[in-house]
Amino acid sequence: MTPISKKVGVLGAGQLGRMLALAGYPLGQKFGFYGMSDDEPSALLGQMHLHNDDADTLQELVKFADVMTYESENTDLELIEEISRTTPVYPSARSLKVCQHRGLEKETFKRLGIPCAPFEIVTSLEELQAAVDILGVPSVLKTTTEGYDGKGQFILKDEDDIEEAWKTLGDRELILERFVDFHRELSIIAVRNANNEHVFYPLVQNVHHKGILRYTIAPAQEIPEMVQKAAETFMQVLLDELDHVGVLTLELFETDSGLMANEMAPRVHNSGHWTIEGAQTSQFENHVRAICGLPLGSTEPRQPIAAMVNIIGETGPVEKVLKKSNAFLHLYDKSQRAGRKLGHFTLLSDSQDALFKDIKDLNDFLPI
C-alpha cells in the first residue's frame, strides 16, 4: 500500500490553518505554516515558519511541504505562481486569480451562465456616474480586490451619494453592482480532487450583522431539491472551468427569480464550520483529502439541522455552551478585539424549533 501521509504547507497561520491541521492529523498528514507571529492560532499545530524580511523562511516551508495550500484569497498571486514551479499548490493560481478579483469573478459567472447582479467596472468619478446611469440605484460600490467582511463597500441609495462613495472608496479600481433584493443569503461548498471526484455540501443559510457572518443554519431550510441541484450545477461548472482542486465556496442570494451568485472563495469557509461535527466529513478534512490526492468523504449531514454561531469580539459565557450536550465549542486562541472572530460553536438538533430554542438560550453570543 502506498503511504498516504503528506506534508502540507499552509500560507497563513490563522484559525483556518488550525482547523485544517486538526482535521488532517488523524489521516497521518503533517503541517507547516507560514505566519507573521508565533502566537497565531495555528502556531503550535505544526512547524511554524515566521515571515522574516532577512531570511527565506518561506522557502524553508516550501522545501518541507509535499503540497501547499493557503488560507486567504488575498494571498499574493505571483507568490503562488512562483511556488507552483517547484511544489504543487492547491487551489491553483488560476482559481486564486479569478476569486481575488470581483470583476473577473463576475465575468466568469456571466460567461458560464451563472446568474449574478449586473455590474460595471469603474476607475474614475465620471465612470462611476456613467455606471449609475446604466445600473440605477440602489447599487453597491465595492473595491475589486481585498474586500472582506463587508469592508471596502458603499451602498448608493440615491444619485446624491455618488461623490461621497467615490471619495470613500475611490482612486482605485471599483465595481458597481446593482442592489439585489434577496430573501436570504445562502452558500454552498464543493470539493474536487485531482482525479475529478467532486462532492457538494447542502446549501446553508448565512445571517450577517454589520458585514460579519454571525450564524449559519445547515442545511438551509425549505430549499426545494431543484434549488440545491441548481447550486450544484453552478459549482460543477466552476470547478471544471477553474480545474479547481480543494474546497470552493460560493455565496449566493436567494431571490424571487432564483439563485444569484455573489462571490466565491477558493478555500474552506466560515459558513462550512458546522461540518466539523455536523457532516460525515468536515470541509477541512475534505480539503486535506482533495489536495493530498485522497478519495473524498461523504458530505451527508449527521442530523436534521445544525447551527454554527460565531464568537466575535469577546469570548463571552462559553461555560453555557460547554454545558449543552448538543453544543461543540471551538476557540481559536486569539486575543479579544472588537469584530474579531475568536471562535465558534456548533449546535446539532433534531428540529428547527429545538435548534432555535438552543440558539435563544445562547443569545449572549448574538448581536441582537
Number of H helices, E strands in the chain: 12, 17
Q: Give whichever of 161 and 177 is closer to ligand AMP, judged by the CB atom.
A: 177
Name the minimum Å distance from CB 51 to ligand AMP.
Answer: 26
Give every CB contact of residue 85 below 8 A, 6+ residues apart in sequence. none
Q: Nearest-5° angle of CA 261, CA 264, CA 269?
A: 125
Give the integer Cα–Cα distance in Å for 155 and 165.
8
CB 10 within 8 A of CB 32: yes
Name the minimum Å distance from CB 209 to ligand AMP.
Answer: 10
Q: Give whichever of 47 and 145 is closer to ligand AMP, judged by the CB atom.
A: 145
In a 10 Å sphere around its CB, with 0-12 CB exposed, 13-18 middle and 19+ buried, how is residue 319 labelled? Answer: exposed
Which residue's Cβ lies closest to ligand AMP? 180
Q: Give whichever of 144 and 193 is closer to ligand AMP, judged by the CB atom.
A: 144
Residue 355 Cα distances to 241, 319, 364, 368, angstroms:
38, 18, 16, 17
Q: How many residues does the chain have?
A: 368
Name the minimum Å distance from CB 117 to ligand AMP.
Answer: 4
Name the minimum Å distance from CB 206 to ligand AMP.
Answer: 7
Give the H or E element holding residue 341: strand 341-349
Name the minimum Å distance from CB 57 to ligand AMP.
Answer: 32
Name the minimum Å distance from CB 357 to ligand AMP.
Answer: 27
Q: Select from 238, 288, 252, 249 the least CA-distant residue to 94.
A: 238
For the record, the C-alpha cell of 252 comes out as 449566493
Q: Give whichever of 31 and 119 is closer to ligand AMP, judged by the CB atom.
A: 119
In degrees to the nearest 10, what's the CA dihedral of 69, 286, 1, 92? -30
Name the minimum Å distance from CB 229 to ligand AMP.
Answer: 23
Place of cell 435548534: 355
Name the minimum Å distance from CB 153 to ligand AMP.
Answer: 6
Helix (H, G, I), strand (E, B) or coil at 41: coil
- Residue numbers of the site for ligand AMP (CB under 6 A)? 117, 140, 147, 150, 177, 179-180, 185, 208, 211, 251, 262-263
Give the integer Cα–Cα distance in Å for 134 and 136.
6
Give the H or E element holding residue 251: strand 246-255
Q: Nearest-5° angle of CA 180, CA 182, CA 187?
A: 105
Name the minimum Å distance from CB 252 to ligand AMP.
Answer: 10
Q: Give whichever of 144 and 282 is closer to ligand AMP, judged by the CB atom.
A: 144
Q: Give whichever of 211 and 339 is closer to ligand AMP, judged by the CB atom.
A: 211
Give the integer Cα–Cα distance in Å for 291 and 88.
9
